Amino acid sequence: MFLSKEQIAEFQDKGFIVLKGFLDEGVMDKVSAHLDQLRDKQPAEGEEAKYYETSPISGENILVRIENVLGAHNPELGRLLLPPEAIECLAQLLGEPPVLFKEKINYKLPGCRPDQLHQDQAAGWNAYGPFYITMGIVVDPNRKENAALSFMNSGNYEKKLMSEEWQPLTEDDPPYKPEDEYVLLEADPGDVIFFDSFVPHGSPANTGDKSRRNIFLTFNKRSEGDKRDQYYQDKWANYAPNQTDSARSKESFRV
């Protein structure tokens, strides 16, 4: 078993655990180079879904995220990010084998808007299943200066929606309140955060000069089925990928 009983208990109590140095430097160098290639790539039909927005800080059109990055169009990336130990951790935390629901790279470039405090489940995920676990992979150093994430670490949340669907829990920036219930999660390349779809988390705008790339792979229990194709089909119908010259200016909360 990869995770100890104590780690599983911590996850159940707080809704997340951090595994320092889960992926090694050699792997992360390759992942970082891969993300640069994806940033510059013009995807073919059915490949990566890229989302651009106009920065509220600089007014420039910037890449905010890329979704649908795992699969036959990027076989190497899946091998790098999901070694057998990762699957084992997910199975231990879910209590059964995991199935990939969705995945994305948040580039969080300088000038990127905040990701307001939210529960992932509020982003329409109830339509596909009741519960998910995300493996967050740190690619660039995450520091306060470049919009490191804050997580509720008191365990004081409900495993149900605490806001209307599609609404953030607050429009305020961190430190979130009550301050002693949140932790600023500064982290290094290769660190991994496993977190459930109800634990409140968010990050401010990136007002620094360094990008803060993280990858988020979200899984559901195998017994709940494979909903990934349906999720992306629905998402692209309602929220289509775009290009630099069609960047969105004001975004509602999306996960």
Ligand X SMILES: O=C(O)CCC(=O)C(=O)O
Residue 44 near residue 72 (C-beta atoms within 8 A): no
Q: What string marks each residue from 14 to 53 as x (binds ligand X by CB under 6 A) or -?
A: ----------------------------------------
* Binding residue count for ligand X, defined by CB under 6 A: 11
CB of 108 to ligand X, least distance (A): 5
From candidates 149, 187, 192, 199, binder to ligand X by CB under 6 A: 149
CB of 94 to ligand X, least distance (A): 18
From candidates 34, 50, 102, 108, binder to ligand X by CB under 6 A: 108
From candidates 53, 67, 115, 196, binder to ligand X by CB under 6 A: 115
Site for ligand X in 215-254 (CB under 6 A): 216
Reading the block at residue 181, the tokens are: 């219930």
Residue 137 has a CB neighbour count (10 Å cut-off) of 26
From candidates 68, 146, 150, 214, binder to ligand X by CB under 6 A: 214
Burial of 238 (0-12, 13-18, 19+ CB in 10 A): exposed
H-type helices in the chain, by residue range?
5-14, 25-40, 75-81, 84-94, 228-238
Residue 201 touching ligand X (CB under 6 A): yes
Residue 197 near residue 125 (C-beta atoms within 8 A): yes
Residue 27 near residue 202 (C-beta atoms within 8 A): no
- Of residues 153 and 203, the one with the C-beta less far from ligand X: 203
- Of residues 22 and 107, the one with the C-beta less far from ligand X: 107
Task: Single out the segment in contact with ligand X by CB under 6 A; choices: 5-13, 37-45, 86-94, 201-209.
Answer: 201-209
- At residue 208, what are phi and psi to the nearest 5 degrees? -85, -170
- Of residues 205 and 247, the one with the C-beta less far from ligand X: 205
Using CB under 6 A, list all residues that contact ligand X.
Answer: 106, 108, 115, 120, 149, 201-203, 214, 216, 255
